[in-house]
Structure 1
Amino acid sequence: MKDRSKDYQNKEKQKPRTLGPVPHLEEHVNPDWWKKIFNSLYLKTDADIVDDASITRQEIDTFSSILNINPESHVLDLCCGQGRHSLELARRGFKNVEGLDRSHYLIQRAKNSAKKESLGVRFKEGDARKTPHATDTFDAVMLLGNSFGYFETSDEDLRVLKEVKRILKPWGKILLDVADGSYLKEKYQPRSWEWIDKHNFVCRERSISTDGQKLISREVIVNDTSGVIADQFYAERLYTTESMIELLKKADFADIEIVDAINSQTLRNQDLGMMERRILVTASVRKEWTPKKKKVKDIEKNVVVVFGDPRKNDSLKPCGVFDDDDIYTIDQLKGGLNEIEGYSVKYLDNHDTLISDLSKLRGKIDFIFNLCDEGFGNDPKKELHVPAVMEMLNIPYTGSGPQCLAFCYDKALVIGIAKDLGVPVPEGIVVKGEDSLFELPMDFPVIVKPNFGDSSFGLNQHSVCNNRDEVVRAIYDIREGLGYDKPILVEEFLTGQDLSIGIIGNPPENYTVLPLTKEDYSELPEDLPRLCGYEAKWIPDSPYWKIKSMPADLPKETEELIVECSLKLINRLECRDYTRLDWRVDSSGTPKLLEVNPNPGWCWDGHLAKMAKIAGISYTEMIRMILKSADERISAQR
């Protein structure tokens, strides 16, 4: 016969018991409390927030806006729990979302939810202090829902931040959503109880730790039939805005900002505990890309990238120097190169030692990736000097040669060459420095611009003129305002679509024509002329900053004419590897060439990258295509 007394004794041993009155809560907190508490009971006690889909949607609206992320961004939801934020991002079309949490139970819940909804979120179990992710992986890391401050010491929290810094890409961002420690020290509820569903209620006790740095909490969860389900203790560090900033600085984060505060409201709206008031903190990472470890046999080509010199002044930039946007652009390029297989890449940007540095590379590298479109010493008139030095040293390089750069720097010369080739061009004249009288052979409006220069130097809303007086004033502004004493080009102002075409490769054999783009001026005030000048590229406060590039909608014959003429010009001017040409349509629908840009802007958000994106080509792939085109051309010449 079965011993029923033993069964009863075993059940009594398994049944949770409450400790009863406890004078000092802190004495009963296990340092690793967080390993056991996040289970099915957690989803009941905190369901008023963590299981409310509308709250999650509102939070993702806020968080994604703060981080400025898009569906292509690589995002880690660290300490993700059951994945509510990760899954919501995936529902919104985010393709590269991952979640990591220590709780086996919550991660399994997250995986099941993702599978049920066919959402491509990758969930893993792991410790936030040492994640399984590679260095330089994520654009953003989110620590949400007060998932920070669980460890026994602040040094362990610092380890988490340093790990986040490691796995973030250069310029990547962290977003911390943490309890407002200052508020909770004053406003926490020492005791409360509430029904969490029809059959279960929770009683809570709280106190401040002896050192004043943590909020100690106790939860006794009771079922109306079976009695006490759990009696659990936990402790969370109370970070103030000041201490949070200090810890992020200690972890070597930059651009630290207290963005906002969240006052939680729920349907139950009873004891919200640590979630009652939270602060949102963002910071970014300033670091170099970590070189990928490659086996020697995997390295096919040794490449050195040459940039402009960030230590020197640059007259074409608004502040006259390299700023954060320029450094960010360079880091995006480095990130793209870091992902491309088959090349070992190093960088040069010190122009004081550039010639001697290049001399030392002779015979030791395969070629130079010449991205110094600022010119030698950041002097735009010396853009051609950089490839000229490489030619004298007999070092192969990407992009166009010095003769091509010299031709294309002279806009009137290019227009003349185009005209000889039968390429349609706008009517215009060149006004030299000594010319005080000149005749305009075309009707108004006209556009006035320096004949030499790039980056839209000297081109602004006052460049478009509707009468002779305005032309004289525009010439005066260029000469006196910019100190420019070289020839000035006065052309008919074309009022049709403003177009660009990008070509990667080397016609006639291997090349890719990227989709043509047009400038969208729909958000520009009616009284401003439609042109994409200096203000559109460099002045964020200008209404011209709102100009966007979009796919061009042209008749087939017009597009074919532009492509045909562009290929003719590339061949005649000896443009190499990648080129952008700017066109504009006149009032009768005829496209006319404006200028040719050899070695055009290679930045991640430039015209060439926008064209590539329309074609479904990522920024990294675009850079790879340029490298491959140059590599094939150089190899064929050897």
Structure 2
Amino acid sequence: MTDETHTDEPPDSRRKGKHQKRTLGPVPDLEEHVKSDWWKGIFNRLYLKTDGDVVDDQQITRSEIDRITRVLHLQPDEKVLDLCCGQGRHTLELARRGYSAEGLDQSHYLIQRARSTAKKEGMQVRFREGDARRLPYRADTYDAVLVLGNSFGYFDSVEEDLRILMELRRVLKPWGRVLLDVADGEYLKDHFQPRSWEWIDPAMFVCRERSLSLDGQRLISREVITDVDRGVVADQFYAERLYTAENLRQLLERAGFSGITFHDIATESRRNQDLGMMERRHIVTAVLRKEWSTTKVRGGERAKHVAVLLGDPTRPDALKPSCVFDDDDFYTIDQMKAALRELKGYRFTYLCKHDTMIQDLAKLKGKVDYVLNLCDEGFNNDPRRELHVPALLEMLGIPYTGSGPQSLAFCYDKSLVRGVAKEMGIPVPDACFITPGDRTYDAGMKLPAIVKPNTGDSSYGITQKSVANTLEDLADVINSLRATVGYDHSLLVEEFLTGKDISVGIIGNPSGYCTVLPITEEDYSALPPELPRLCGYEAKWLPDSPYWKIVSRPANLPEETEKVVVRCCLALFERLECRDYCRFDWRLDEHGNPKLLEVNPNPGWCWDGHLAKMAKYAGISYSGMLGQILKAAEERFGMEQETGAREAGKESLPLDITRETA
């Protein structure tokens, strides 16, 4: 570290015979000589000499970035802020690896060094000067913020350090991560060196004194830097707060962070002499759970006001493994909110409290343009009441996206969909319908067969144990499924098809533009050979299951098969009164003939769901997919189309097929 009272000397200062710096000599109390803003002028050329063995070594930097990217699980498309970036060594290394990173530091000298290095390497990396307590960035900008090199704890009070964390909270996105590289205060209190000296290059050495502050909460340091030819060139004092692991945890929690984890780090140094505050450190990571900030639409264009209806995270949800909303659910919701924020010309209000949903919607009538219905959990998180939500919106006279209550009622009943499809000449598997009261039944089909609830959602009740290979197996599977879903539910026994498992997604409406997304198929190659090939409850909800390894890929189908499947999907889309978006699940038999399994008129809208994957294969982002759904509904409503109204979802349309009729 270097002194705030001394800046870099001109290159020719030695030739001009400039007088050497004066030293204060012995002082009885180091703390008396520490200025409250010591950090303003201390980080200059001499800092890179005194601490260069740790903070200016490219090999060490690479090693640290290896650790950081691993600990934070950084993804290439995530935006990273390197706060207190110094000469930009970490920022630049991240940029070299393809990450979107930028840096901020209060030192003019170090920021100029960072910019110079970026320019020499031909990299477009943004570096700014600024105060960490007042960051010059918009809210919800970054996926991760790094505070490295023991750059936390410079201020006189803990409250000022808290201000930094609150600024990080502001600029981080929901589910953003922070990583602090902080001295182990508990260790340093007992192990700091009161006096030391070391050579920092062949012509310069530094002598150090250290003591604890009067309150025992800060380590006071003095450095006297001497040039062998010129004598003393700096005599400087600084102080850093000694945070224990528990102190840091409490401070991060006060700032609203959770998931706080400590990772030990061994300090690397080529000189390996007096490491000072860098001798023993913690890597601390934490996650931020917050709501997205309110956005304002610029310019004179009126923003469309859209209310987004969701499941209720405060209520039980029987379809989820833990029967409650968990971190994955909240992360999914935040990803959706982030995607909607990217759409121009909209503002969104989110409704998820079902106890007051009726009153809340009544108050919004006339104040919102329409509702984006993403409540696929059903009213009060009851899938049997999925149709209640659009029915309520119709009674209130509020337009909404997605299918109406009649369509949801049709498609919730798998046997009913089979009957409609057969009537239309669309192939379906052989099946047997079993009513709740049936105790004897004749499936009348060849085995193996799969047993599934006739009504339901999210593959509930469909697992590896749902496949029966013998009549004895069939009885056991039926009894087991009844015990799981309830004896008052009807069941469907269906021939188990062994060909490709495919899905078709459609966005739009038959009366307007209609987009068929690329067909996907499930890749079961990672499954153990003894497990049945099906994409059921385990594949969607249980990360520890081997079925979690199933991945969706673009389907490789004969052209004629693809045309038949798409033609049938478009016909069903219209016949079942689906609207705006829909997903159809099919399976091929052993001869490659496609047969319809089910129709989902309110398919999963999540960022990693089947529909989003199909859109991605079409070159449409998650945000673009949601934008297309909104535009499909607006076109159906007959809303006035402003100039450029399709821009929100205009990443289309490199699609397989656009609008076919059956």
Q: Does TM-score exceed 0.5, indicating one fold? A: yes
SS of equivalent residue, structure 1 residue 429: strand
How high is the TM-score relative to the length of structure 1?
Answer: 0.93
Is 1:378 the counterpart of 2:381 in the alignment?
yes
How far did residue 222 of structure 1 move? 2.9
Distance 1:54 1:527 in 2: 48
CA contact (8 A) 2:587 2:595 kept: yes
SS of equivalent residue, structure 2 residue 441: coil
What pairs with 1:128-277 in structure 2 (closer than 5 Å)?
Answer: 128-255=132-259, 257-277=260-280
Is 1:104 the counterpart of 2:108 in the alignment?
yes
Distance 2:14 2:603 in 1: 81
Relative to structure 1, is the Cα distance of residues 92 and 8 closer, same or farther in structure 2, using a 3 angstrom cutoff?
closer
How far did residue 623 of structure 1 move? 1.6
How far did residue 9 of structure 1 move? 13
- What residue is the counterpart of 1:4 in the other structure? none
Distance 2:69 2:435 in 1: 53
Moved more, 387-396 or 124-133: 387-396
- What residue is the counterpart of 1:601 in the other structure? 604
- What residue is the counterpart of 2:423 in the other structure? 420
Cα offsets for 1:25-74 (capped at 9, x unmatched): 22222221211121222222222222223322222222223223211112
Cα offsets for 1:244-301 (capped at 9, x unmatched): 112122223233x232111213222222221121112222223222211346843332
SS of equivalent residue, structure 2 residue 224: strand
How far did residue 375 of structure 1 move? 1.1
SS of equivalent residue, structure 1 residue 77: strand
2:81 to 44, 64, 76: 76
SS of equivalent residue, structure 2 residue 354: coil
Distance 1:504 1:194 in 2: 69
CA contact (8 A) 2:295 2:347 kept: no
CA contact (8 A) 2:207 2:224 kept: yes
What pairs with 1:233-632 in structure 2 (closer than 5 Å)?
Answer: 233-255=237-259, 257-294=260-297, 297-507=300-510, 509-632=512-635
Distance 2:224 2:588 in 1: 75
What pairs with 1:24-103 in structure 2 (closer than 5 Å)?
Answer: 24-94=29-99, 96-103=100-107
- What residue is the counterpart of 1:22 in the other structure? 27
Relative to structure 1, is the Cα distance of residues 407 and 76 closer, same or farther in structure 2, using a 3 angstrom cutoff?
same
- What residue is the counterpart of 2:646 in the other structure? none
How far did residue 13 of structure 1 move? 6.0
- What residue is the counterpart of 2:6 in the other structure? none
Letter in 1 for 2:530: D
Letter in 2 for 1:24: D
Distance 1:113 1:123 in 2: 11
- What residue is the counterpart of 1:3 in the other structure? none
The percent identity for this pair of structures is 63
SS of equivalent residue, structure 2 residue 508: strand
Which structure 2 residue ranges, 5 or more long, are not aligned? 1-11, 642-662
SS of equivalent residue, structure 1 residue 108: helix
How far did residue 102 of structure 1 move? 0.8
How far did residue 11 of structure 1 move? 5.5
CA contact (8 A) 1:399 1:598 kept: yes
Letter in 1 for 2:291: E
SS of equivalent residue, structure 1 residue 627: helix
Letter in 1 for 2:436: G
SS of equivalent residue, structure 2 residue 638: helix
Distance 1:85 1:531 in 2: 45
How far did residue 541 of structure 1 move? 2.7
SS of equivalent residue, structure 1 residue 452: coil
Distance 1:341 1:493 in 2: 46
Q: Find runs of 4+ consecutive structure 1 residues off by over 4 angstroms.
A: 7-14
Relative to structure 1, is the Cα distance of residues 259 and 388 closer, same or farther in structure 2, using a 3 angstrom cutoff?
same
Q: Tell me the C-alpha RMSD between the 2 structures.
A: 2.5
Letter in 2 for 1:101: D
Moved more, 331-340 or 150-159: 331-340
CA contact (8 A) 2:464 2:531 kept: yes
Letter in 1 for 2:68: F
Distance 1:235 1:600 in 2: 58
Distance 1:466 1:224 in 2: 88
Relative to structure 1, is the Cα distance of residues 498 and 15 closer, same or farther in structure 2, using a 3 angstrom cutoff?
farther
How far did residue 193 of structure 1 move? 2.5
SS of equivalent residue, structure 1 residue 353: helix
Distance 2:520 2:268 in 1: 47
CA contact (8 A) 2:436 2:487 kept: no
Distance 1:324 1:608 in 2: 21
SS of equivalent residue, structure 2 residue 482: helix
Cα offsets for 1:430-449 (capped at 9, x unmatched): 22233333334443322110
Cα offsets for 1:366-400 (capped at 9, x unmatched): 21111111112221111111111222222211001
Which structure 1 residue ranges, 5 or more long, are not aligned? 1-6
How far did residue 508 of structure 1 move? 5.8
How far did residue 341 of structure 1 move? 2.1
Letter in 1 for 2:86: G
Distance 2:192 2:420 in 1: 78
Relative to structure 1, is the Cα distance of residues 90 and 586 closer, same or farther in structure 2, using a 3 angstrom cutoff?
farther
SS of equivalent residue, structure 2 residue 32: helix
Moved more, 71-80 or 477-486: 477-486
Relative to structure 1, is the Cα distance of residues 287 and 19 closer, same or farther in structure 2, using a 3 angstrom cutoff?
same
Moved more, 141-150 or 341-350: 341-350
SS of equivalent residue, structure 1 residue 112: helix
CA contact (8 A) 2:512 2:636 kept: no
Distance 1:561 1:485 in 2: 37
Relative to structure 1, is the Cα distance of residues 383 and 9 closer, same or farther in structure 2, using a 3 angstrom cutoff?
closer
Distance 1:121 1:16 in 2: 37
CA contact (8 A) 1:584 1:592 kept: yes
Letter in 1 for 2:94: L
How far did residue 537 of structure 1 move? 1.8
Moved more, 425-434 or 147-156: 425-434
Relative to structure 1, is the Cα distance of residues 496 and 226 closer, same or farther in structure 2, using a 3 angstrom cutoff?
farther
CA contact (8 A) 1:205 1:218 kept: yes
Relative to structure 1, is the Cα distance of residues 26 and 522 closer, same or farther in structure 2, using a 3 angstrom cutoff?
farther
How far did residue 8 of structure 1 move? 11
Distance 1:8 1:584 in 2: 81
CA contact (8 A) 1:258 1:279 kept: no
Cα offsets for 1:183-227 (capped at 9, x unmatched): 111122222222333333332222222221111222233333333
Distance 1:285 1:208 in 2: 33
Relative to structure 1, is the Cα distance of residues 93 and 636 closer, same or farther in structure 2, using a 3 angstrom cutoff?
same
Relative to structure 1, is the Cα distance of residues 111 and 475 closer, same or farther in structure 2, using a 3 angstrom cutoff?
same
SS of equivalent residue, structure 2 residue 600: strand
